[in-house]
Structure 1
Amino acid sequence: MRDLKPWLDLIFKRPGRLMVGGVLILATLISGIALLAVSGWFITETALVGLLLAAGVAASINLYVPGGAIRFFAVSRTVFRYLERVYNHDTVLRLLTDIRVALFQRLSLASRSLRGELSGAQWLSRLTSDVDALDTLYLRLIAPTALAALVTFLVVVLASVLFDMRTALLVGLILLVALVIATVGVYLRTRHLAARQSDRQEALRTAVIEHIEGFAELTAAGRTGKHAAWLMRQAHQVTSEQAKADTRVGWHLAGSHLLINLSAVFALWAGFALFQVGAVSGPVLVLLPIALLGIAEVYAMLPDAFAKLGATVASAQRLNRDCRANVATADVSTVDLPADTALLAENITVKHAGYAPLFTHFNLEVQAGERLGIIGHSGSGKSSLADTFAELLPAQGKLACRDRVYLTQKTVLFEDTLRANLLLGSPNASDTDLWRILELVELAQRFASEPDQLDTWLGSAGNRLSGGEARRVALARVLLNPAPLVILDEPFTGLDAETRARISKRMDGLLEGKTVVSLAHGPDALPGTDRVIYLRG
């Protein structure tokens, strides 16, 4: 359970909102129980008065007070339920924001090699299902359990006031056993099963995503049907395990409800004995058993929540493992960088996990303000070398570099406006700056003709643009960044020779005074350079 502590500390940073949300849930529960109890009391009182009048005995009843109480609790239950749903769902969304921000902060401090070990599908699982398991921890588990205990205590106090202490203690003991069965009992019976189920669901989710992404390759290999059948077997195993967990939850839910009903029967039996000696009236006799039956609504939420606690702990373990900030942030040792040097690599070994090294004993020194070109054919390791310079790929050796901005070989645009995508490079850039950089990459006229101009929506991954236009937007975003070291991997992908030459010439003035490391498959695909390195591989 210690794995939940970092996330619980994060959740409890909003104690005011949690307290208000808990009070609204409590008010809803009390209104519901009170509505049942007062209604039972009122119906019993009315029936007794009716029998007395039928027997010719003078009797009277106050219809207004209990009737008003019933209407009040009926309305208050509805109002509190509405307020609780709106307020607590807003709280959950705020907690989700806190968790995601904290998660990304911890990921930014984690080991780069650790981040690279997970596939995109696994990261998707971390950022969706694992986070979802934590953001509802308060609303699904903490608040209902605390309030169930509190409501149970209040009902026991009510029993001691209306009946006697002996009845109250026995009712409390029965309810305590029911509470333990619905919470701790469920958790102990399902924790290992839920943890395994969580891991299997993540593995199945990852396999399905990889099946979709690799569908063309599977079709070409003639293995689509076999792989789909394997996925179905995995899904059947997951559903079978889920059915087993649901069965255990159902038995515990039935056991807790049975004990609640037994407590109501016992209260009725004990109350009848008190009624015979005149210690309680008939309506009061009915009030406590009905209130006890109302507790079933509170307890019904608990077994399912505690059945998922094992999976929640497993999610927390995965996130904690993947966000370890105490792991060394690099396999590369840092060295002191001379004042006139922008990038220094000494005895660098670059390799991907499970493969032979791309480079060994690689040394490079780039002077401040120098423009270095690196040329190599496809597969020679250009992009891996660029990733190493940008500290995205772990390597062995000594590496130091100035603040940098990196244009990756893959064009990455976000589903947002042109302005939002450009401002990622320089958040304080003015509209004049944006139009100037668009002019440099020959896109100003293209977007000036759009109705929304800078606020033109680029679509998913920039799918409203051609490949060359998307590449130029990504290049413009990098050129806006004030970092002194610029790393460009295939900056002119998708551009014809004439356009490339014009943009390259304009870039010379903009990049004046900066250090530029550009990588391409040939010299004609590079901007202006002072020297060129050729990679052999």
Structure 2
Amino acid sequence: MHELIPWLRLIFQRPGRLAVGGLLIFLTLLSGIGLLALSGWFITETALVGLALAAGIQAGINLYVPGGGIRFFAVSRTVARYVERVYNHDTVLRLLTDIRVDLFRKLAASSRANRVGLTGAQWLSRLTSDVDALDTLYLRLIAPVALAALVTALMVIFAGVLFDGTTALGLSAVLGAALLVATLGAYLCTRHVAHRQSDRQEQLRMAVVEHLEGFAELTAAGRTGKHAAWLMRQAHQFTSEQAKADGRIGWNLAAAHLFINLAAVFALWVGFSLFQAGLIAGPVLVLVPIALLGLAEIYGMLPDAFGKLGATQASATRLNRDSQAENLTASKPTETELPPDLSLLAQDLAVKHEGQAPLFTRFDLSVKKGERVGIIGHSGSGKSSLAETFAGLITPFRGTVAAEAVGYLTQDTVLFEDTLRANLLLGSPEASDTELWRMLELVGMAERFVEEPDQLDTWLGSAGSRLSGGEARRIALARVLLAPVPLVILDEPFTGVDAETRASICRRLTPWLEGKTVISLAHGPDALPDTDRVIHLST
């Protein structure tokens, strides 16, 4: 269970909401049990009075108080259930926000190897099914178990007051067994299957995504049918295992209900003895067994939740593993104060990736404010790793880096499935339309979108699929240049851009970048904007 601890701490950061949500569930349960028990008492009482009157015995019954109580419980149960559902679903959405924000924060600080080592389908699994498995921990596991234990204790006390201590002890033993079967029993029977199913579900999702992404290649190779048949076999195996887990959950649910019914029979049997001894009235005899049957509502929620706890643990394990902080530093970097005349200072810098030799050792660089530095080197020389270190995305293996606020154009072009405006405003959310058009003109893309019917609201498609590679690169460049930061790092800024367009953009960039510090990286000097000096990397 230790893998759940970080997420449980996060969930319990909202104790007020959790307490109110639990109270609403508790009121719903009490109203349901009260409605069932009072109705049973009232029916029994009216039947006994009817029999007495039929036998010529004078008898009477107050119809108004129990009738009012039944109506009260009926209304309170409905209202409490509605309020509980609305409130707790809102709580779950808030918890989901907390979990995702915390997860994104951890991912931002995690090892680069962890981030790039996962496929898109795996990230989809992390951010959907794995997160969803955690945000219901409270509503499906914690609250129901706590309330089941509380209501069970109240029922035992209630039986002890109305009947006797022996009845209370017997009921506590039987109901305790029911609680253990519904929780620990369901977990132990299904944890390994649920864990395997969680991993298998992710693998199946990856296989389906890869099938769709590679459908054209599969069709060209004539392998579509065979691969689809393989997917169907994997899906059949998954459903078979799921049916096995569901069967085990069903047996635990049946056992829990059996114990509840045994508790009701036991209370009825003891109650008859007390009734024959004249210690309790007939309606009271019925009251406790019927109230005990009302426990089935909350006990019925537990086996399914605990049957999936193994999958929740697997999800938590994956999230903890893939969001762990990078721990590659041989010596912890010390904080370096940036001199007032510099925009970036790197001292005794060593950069490496896990399981690989260092890319750099004893690398020193100081960049003055307003200076424009070019860094060139062939593929594999470590340009992008150096840029990511400057931008703070990679922790140095040794040495220190201090820099001003950075705007970073990564080597990979990343555009979101959204409008042109939305993609540009990521660089500067307060930018006006005039500023956006000016930036598009700067990178030679204004004419391209003036001709579009929606202009700035043009939809760019998935990952900018409606644009060519060079056009997408210029949009990404424009987004970075919009950012109000003193230091700009441009990694291969003109990928996919022809020489004539590149030269035109460079001419317009020079006055725009006046006063900013620019570090640009490329394979050769012809792919750099104007620079004051150039550094050559070699391996």
**Structure 2 length-normalised TM:** 0.86
Q: Which residue of 1 aligns with 2:261?
A: 261
Query: Does the C-alpha gap of structure 1 residues 392 and 108 become closer, same or farther in structure 2, counting only changes over 3 Å?
Result: closer
Q: Which residue of 1 aligns with 2:28?
A: 28
- In 1: Cα distance, 2:376 partner to 2:213 partner: 32
| Residue 127 of structure 1, CA deviation | 1.6
The answer to whether the aligner puts 1:17 opposite 2:17 as a matched pair is yes
The answer to whether the aligner puts 1:314 opposite 2:314 as a matched pair is yes
Residue deviations 1:127-160, cap 9 Å, x none? Answer: 2111111110000000000111111111112111
| Residue 502 of structure 1, CA deviation | 2.8
Q: Which residue of 2 aligns with 1:477?
A: 479
Moved more, 456-465 or 201-210: 456-465
- In 2: Cα distance, 1:438 partner to 1:359 partner: 36
Moved more, 22-31 or 518-527: 518-527
Residue deviations 1:7-36, cap 9 Å, x none? Answer: 111111111100110011111111111111
Residue deviations 1:472-528, cap 9 Å, x none? Answer: 332111112244443334434555555443322111112234443444566655433
Q: Which residue of 1 aligns with 2:6?
A: 6
Q: Which residue of 1 aligns with 2:78?
A: 78
- In 2: Cα distance, 1:59 partner to 1:468 partner: 94
The answer to whether the aligner puts 1:276 opposite 2:276 as a matched pair is yes
Moved more, 217-226 or 197-206: 217-226
Query: Does the C-alpha gap of structure 1 residues 262 and 108 become closer, same or farther in structure 2, counting only changes over 3 Å?
Result: same
Residue deviations 1:203-254, cap 9 Å, x none? Answer: 2222322333333344444444444343333333322222222121111111
- In 2: Cα distance, 1:514 partner to 1:452 partner: 33
**Which amino acid in structure 1 is aligned with residue 22 of structure 2?**
G
- Whether the aligned pair in 2 keeps the contact of 1:125 and 1:202 (CA below 8 Å) is yes
Query: Does the C-alpha gap of structure 1 residues 331 and 459 become closer, same or farther in structure 2, counting only changes over 3 Å?
Result: farther
- In 2: Cα distance, 1:8 partner to 1:53 partner: 60
Q: Helix, strand or coil for the counterpart of 1:486? A: strand
Q: Which residue of 2 aligns with 1:90?
A: 90
- Whether the aligned pair in 1 keeps the contact of 2:477 and 2:493 (CA below 8 Å) is yes
- In 2: Cα distance, 1:168 partner to 1:536 partner: 81
The answer to whether the aligner puts 1:205 opposite 2:197 as a matched pair is no
- In 2: Cα distance, 1:146 partner to 1:458 partner: 50
- In 1: Cα distance, 2:59 partner to 2:228 partner: 76
**Which amino acid in structure 2 is aligned with residue 166 of structure 1?**
T
Q: Which residue of 1 aligns with 2:511?
A: 509
Of residues 489, 495, 506 in structure 2, which corresponds to 1:487?
A: 489
Query: Does the C-alpha gap of structure 1 residues 24 and 132 become closer, same or farther in structure 2, counting only changes over 3 Å?
Result: same
| Residue 178 of structure 1, CA deviation | 0.6
Q: Which residue of 1 aligns with 2:305?
A: 305
Moved more, 413-422 or 125-134: 413-422
| Residue 421 of structure 1, CA deviation | 2.6
- Whether the aligned pair in 2 keeps the contact of 1:350 and 1:394 (CA below 8 Å) is no
| Residue 470 of structure 1, CA deviation | 3.7
**Structure 1 length-normalised TM:** 0.87
- Whether the aligned pair in 1 keeps the contact of 2:349 and 2:396 (CA below 8 Å) is no
| Residue 272 of structure 1, CA deviation | 1.3
- In 2: Cα distance, 1:231 partner to 1:201 partner: 12
- In 1: Cα distance, 2:224 partner to 2:2 partner: 43
| Residue 322 of structure 1, CA deviation | 2.3
Q: Aligned-residue CA RMSD in angstroms? A: 3.5
Query: Does the C-alpha gap of structure 1 residues 399 and 115 become closer, same or farther in structure 2, counting only changes over 3 Å?
Result: farther
Query: Does the C-alpha gap of structure 1 residues 212 and 521 become closer, same or farther in structure 2, counting only changes over 3 Å?
Result: farther
**Which amino acid in structure 2 is aligned with residue 144 of structure 1?**
P
The answer to whether the aligner puts 1:247 opposite 2:247 as a matched pair is yes
Moved more, 160-169 or 418-427: 418-427
Q: Which residue of 2 aligns with 1:146?
A: 146
- Whether the aligned pair in 1 keeps the contact of 2:130 and 2:316 (CA below 8 Å) is yes
The answer to whether the aligner puts 1:289 opposite 2:285 as a matched pair is no
Query: Does the C-alpha gap of structure 1 residues 229 and 534 become closer, same or farther in structure 2, counting only changes over 3 Å?
Result: farther
- In 1: Cα distance, 2:32 partner to 2:266 partner: 22
**Which amino acid in structure 1 is aligned with residue 165 of structure 2?**
M
Moved more, 73-82 or 89-98: 73-82
Q: Which residue of 1 aligns with 2:65?
A: 65
Q: Which residue of 2 aligns with 1:117?
A: 117
Which residues of structure 1 form unaligned runs of 5+?
none
Moved more, 123-132 or 475-484: 475-484
Query: Does the C-alpha gap of structure 1 residues 447 and 332 become closer, same or farther in structure 2, counting only changes over 3 Å?
Result: farther
Residue deviations 1:382-441, cap 9 Å, x none? Answer: 666755665657887767463433223433222445444333223454555444433423
- Whether the aligned pair in 1 keeps the contact of 2:329 and 2:398 (CA below 8 Å) is no
Q: Which residue of 1 aligns with 2:414?
A: 412
| Residue 461 of structure 1, CA deviation | 3.4
Residue deviations 1:62-82, cap 9 Å, x none? Answer: 222222222221111111111
- Whether the aligned pair in 1 keeps the contact of 2:427 and 2:480 (CA below 8 Å) is yes
- Whether the aligned pair in 2 keeps the contact of 1:334 and 1:400 (CA below 8 Å) is no
**Which amino acid in structure 2 is aligned with residue 256 of structure 1?**
A
**Which amino acid in structure 2 is aligned with residue 487 of structure 1?**
I
- Whether the aligned pair in 1 keeps the contact of 2:185 and 2:252 (CA below 8 Å) is yes
Query: Does the C-alpha gap of structure 1 residues 235 and 384 become closer, same or farther in structure 2, counting only changes over 3 Å?
Result: farther
| Residue 360 of structure 1, CA deviation | 7.6
Query: Does the C-alpha gap of structure 1 residues 95 and 330 become closer, same or farther in structure 2, counting only changes over 3 Å?
Result: farther
Residue deviations 1:325-382, cap 9 Å, x none? Answer: 372469997897886684759797777979xx89788968574413316375x88886
Query: Does the C-alpha gap of structure 1 residues 113 and 470 become closer, same or farther in structure 2, counting only changes over 3 Å?
Result: closer
- In 2: Cα distance, 1:5 partner to 1:381 partner: 38
- Whether the aligned pair in 1 keeps the contact of 2:253 and 2:303 (CA below 8 Å) is yes
- How many pairs align? 534
**Which amino acid in structure 2 is aligned with residue 486 of structure 1?**
V
| Residue 3 of structure 1, CA deviation | 1.7
Which residues of structure 2 form unaligned runs of 5+?
none
- Whether the aligned pair in 1 keeps the contact of 2:326 and 2:395 (CA below 8 Å) is no
**Which amino acid in structure 1 is aligned with residue 164 of structure 2?**
D
Q: Helix, strand or coil for the counterpart of 2:294? A: helix
**Which amino acid in structure 2 is aligned with residue 319 of structure 1?**
L
- In 1: Cα distance, 2:202 partner to 2:332 partner: 32
Query: Does the C-alpha gap of structure 1 residues 31 and 13 become closer, same or farther in structure 2, counting only changes over 3 Å?
Result: same
